[in-house]
Amino acid sequence: MPPAPLPQLLDELAELLGQMCTTVANALYRATAALLDNRERLAQQVIIGDVAVDALRARVEGIATDALLFHAPVAGDLRTVVSAIRSAGDIERMGDLALHVAQVVERGRRLPPEVCGDFAEMGRLAVQLGRKAAEVARTRNVVMAVGLESDDDAMDVLHEHMFGVLMDDAWPHGVPTAVDVTLLARYYERFADHAVAVARETVYAVTGQTPEALAL
Amino acid sequence: MPPAPLPQLLDELAELLGQMCTTVANALYRATAALLDNRERLAQQVIIGDVAVDALRARVEGIATDALLFHAPVAGDLRTVVSAIRSAGDIERMGDLALHVAQVVERGRRLPPEVCGDFAEMGRLAVQLGRKAAEVARTRNVVMAVGLESDDDAMDVLHEHMFGVLMDDAWPHGVPTAVDVTLLARYYERFADHAVAVARETVYAVTGQTPEALAL
């Protein structure tokens, strides 16, 4: 079978990256619901579902390799292929982080009530960033891509606030719970960071510039 | 100026990836010394030095792009270029993690004495993994690359042990110190994971297989 034409391969890459982002955003949505409501069965579904993300990454890399091998793309097309390889790595990691949240639930750990609101909000922001990254990957909308950075600033504020709660002398839940909360907060923050990285990759692929250089 | 021949570009990639790994291993070595001996000036040097890693990554990506653009490599050469792009991402992240360790020191936080031995050992293992990854990247020695996985198992054992210490009812240092120790332990563990990822990339580039499929 002859290889597909380059524009078709590039479209497939955009579609698959979008699908990967949607998949990991849904995984984090469910992992967060499992965390807030202590639903261990739901957490197990998230854990089982992570193989789908790894399979999508393998497909992205296969198509990217075909594009390089059969079409020797140049300029923006080459940037698109290289950035697809890098983005797939970021999105796979987002899936791992959703999995880590689910694993905390699976181990039977509970969130103390006073941080549930913060985690609900971190979950909402991170899932929203994942879904926006999906849209950016599919549509290659540079203006939308640049917008992800300010959503990520909101995540950083929440993350700092969470550490303030933990560091307070009045924290009544002991060290083991503090360790869980510390790691969980980090998983959400890193998920958001990778979503922003996917958007930055798209900006670079489309324009050959970083978001800062564009000053959009 | 005409582009350099492909073998020369591939040699440059191997050399630069080795240099990146050595740079981040040295950064973590110094960050760990700063952590164990409360040396804030040394920590600041690590923080300032991280830009060198980012610059090396940019050079790797520039050379990889030249290789794709001017030589349209196939088979093992193509795998080598693609894996160089991915490895550079992993190694840049290792540099960020060394930086995070240094930032904890810079903020004036102190390790409690009973975990200093564990962190000395995690630091030793992680630096060793970084240096082995440098050697693997330079020499493309597949047998050595596969060996990194067992070093990483030792890191995971240490990491689990550290959590045991934290979760013990007798932990006397309070929550803020527990939060620092939790994040620091995670930085070392992730540094080691990325070193293993670099070695796996090399195995894939050289053989077209994962370490598991080779069963070395």
The reply to whether B215 falls in a domain is: no
The per-residue pLDDT for range B65-107, each reduced to its tens digit, is: 999 999 999 999 999 999 999 999 999 999 999 999 999 999 9
CA quadruple B95, A95, A87, B11: dihedral, nearest 10: 50
Distance CA A163, CA B66 (A): 45
Interchain contact, A167 vs B175, CB within 8 Å: yes
Total structural domains in chain A? 1
Answer yes or no: do A171 and B175 touch at CB < 8 A. Answer: yes
Residue A1 placed within a domain: no
The answer as to whether A138 is a domain residue is: yes
Helix (H, G, I), strand (E, B) or coil at B111: coil
Closest CA to B60 of B50, B48, B52: B52
B86 and chain A: CB distance < 8 Å anywhere?
Answer: yes
Q: Do B175 and A178 touch (CB under 8 A)?
A: yes
Distance from the A208 Cα atom to the nearest Cα atom in chain B, whole angstroms: 12
| Nearest C-alpha in B relative to A74 | B69
A138, A80 contact by CB (below 8 A) = no
Handedness of CA A104, A109, A115, A117 (dihedral sign): positive
Q: Is residue B214 part of a domain?
A: no
Angle made by CA atoms B97, B100, B104, in degrees to the nearest 5: 145
| Position B11, amino acid | D
ipTM for the predicted complex = 0.92
Q: A88-123 in b/e burial notation, b at 16+ Cβ within 10 A?
A: bbbbbbbbbbbbbbbbbbbeebebeeebeebbebbb
DSSP code of residue B74? -
Q: How far apart are CA A87 and CA B142, in angstroms?
A: 26
Q: Under a CB-based contact definition with an 8 Å cutoff, are residues A208 and A142 in contact?
A: no
Distance CA A63, CA A84 (A): 10
Q: What is the CATH number of the domain that holds A149?
A: 1.20.58.220
Nearest CA in chain B to A71: B72
Closest B-chain CA to A177: B167
Q: Give residue A169's pLDDT.
A: 77
Q: Note whether B213 contacts A: Cβ–Cβ < 8 A.
A: no
Span A21-44, pLDDT tens digits = 999 999 999 999 999 999 999 999
Arithmetic mean of pLDDT, A181-200? 96
| Averaged pLDDT score across all residues of chain A | 93
Tens-digit pLDDT profile for residues A41-92: 999 999 999 999 999 999 999 999 999 999 999 999 999 999 999 999 999 9
**Which amino acid type is present at position A98?**
A
- Flag whether B88 is in a domain: yes
Say if A170 is an interface residue toward chain B (CB within 8 Å).
no
pLDDT mean over B15-35: 98
State whether B175 and A183 contact (CB < 8 Å). no
* CA-based radius of gyration for chain B: 19
> What's the pLDDT score for residue B209?
83
Interface check for A179 against chain B (CB to CB < 8 A): the answer is yes
Q: Is residue B187 part of a domain?
A: yes
Put simply, the answer to whether B179 touches A186 (Cβ < 8 Å) is no
What are the backbone dihedrals phi and psi of residue B74, each rounded to the nearest 5 degrees, phi first? Answer: -125, 170
Nearest chain A CA: its distance from B148 CA (Å): 21
Q: How far is CA A19 from CA A9, A25, A135, A138, in A?
A: 15, 10, 9, 8
Instruction: Give residue B121's region: left, alpha or beta (phi > 0; psi -120 to 50).
Output: alpha
- How far is residue A121's CA from residue A155's CA, in Å, rounded to a whole number? 9
Would B22 be classed as within a structural domain? yes
Size of interface A-B (CB pairs under 8 A): 64
Q: What share of chain A is helix, strand, coil (3-state, %, to 5)?
A: 85, 0, 15
Structural domain includes residue A146: yes
Give contacts of B166 with chain A, Cβ < 8 Å: 175-176, 179
Provide the percentage of residues in chain B whose pLDDT is more than 70. 99
Q: Cα separation of A206 and A213, whole Å?
A: 13
**B74, B175, B177, B190: which to substitute to probe chain A, counting the most A Cβ within 10 Å?**
B175
* 3-state SS assignment for residue A112: coil
Q: What is the dihedral of CA A170, B180, B194, A80, to 10 degrees?
A: 60
A108 touches chain B (CB under 8 A): no
- Determine the structural domain holding residue A159 and report its residue range: 6-214
pLDDT higher than 70, residue B180:
yes
